[in-house]
């Protein structure tokens, strides 16, 4: 469950009883460990994780890019707090074997840190 608050810095706080991932630059919460799908992804700056859902991120315009697994329509995502580009959201996969990625998020390890009970 996501707790919304206006008196804090971030738009959303994840429950402190769960392991979470946060922005390494400003510590804004990004994702709950339960939303992690895969650790086997490659970002533009190294290893990356695939998440089902994320919080405190903004989304840029979608554009077509040829990635390691083929042509995808992706939109860069950034931290809403510090505006650092974190990775991307898969908007559309053109190959049927890649459809499972649609609507999912990539966050590069270079931009996140583990929080709460690791």
Domains of the chain: 20-114 (2.170.150.20)
- Tell me: the pLDDT tens digits for 39-86? 999 998 899 999 999 999 999 999 999 999 999 999 999 999 999 999
Work out the pLDDT band at 18, boundaries 50, 70, 90: confident
Residue 7, pLDDT score: 39
Residue 2 scores a pLDDT above 50: no
* DSSP classification of residue 80: T
Residue 23 scores a pLDDT above 50: yes
Helix (H, G, I), strand (E, B) or coil at 26: coil
Sign of CA dihedral 26, 31, 32, 37: negative
Residue 17, pLDDT score: 62
Residue 97 scores a pLDDT above 90: yes
Q: What is the pTM of this model?
A: 0.84
Helix (H) or strand (E) holding 113: strand 112-115
Please provide the average confidence, as pLDDT, over all residues in the chain: 89
Q: Who wins on pLDDT, 100 or 17?
A: 100
Residue 118 scores a pLDDT above 70: no
Contacts of range 84-89, beta carbons closer than 8 Å, 24 or more positions apart: 84/23, 84/25, 84/26, 84/111, 85/111, 86/23, 86/30, 86/57, 86/111, 86/112, 87/43, 87/48, 87/111, 89/59
């Amino acid at each position: 469950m996501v707790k919304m608050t206006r008196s804090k810095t971030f738009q959303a706080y994840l429950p402190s009883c769960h392991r979470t991932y946060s922005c390494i630059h400003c510590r804004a919460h990004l994702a709950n460990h339960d939303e992690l799908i895969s650790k086997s992804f490659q970002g533009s700056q190294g290893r990356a994780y695939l998440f089902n859902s994320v919080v405190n991120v903004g989304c840029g315009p979608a554009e077509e890019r040829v990635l390691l697994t083929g042509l995808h329509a992706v939109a860069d995502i950034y931290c809403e707090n510090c505006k650092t580009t974190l990775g991307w959201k898969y908007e559309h996969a053109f190959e049927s074997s890649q459809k499972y990625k649609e609507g999912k998020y990539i966050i590069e390890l270079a931009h996140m840190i583990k929080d709460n009970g690791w």
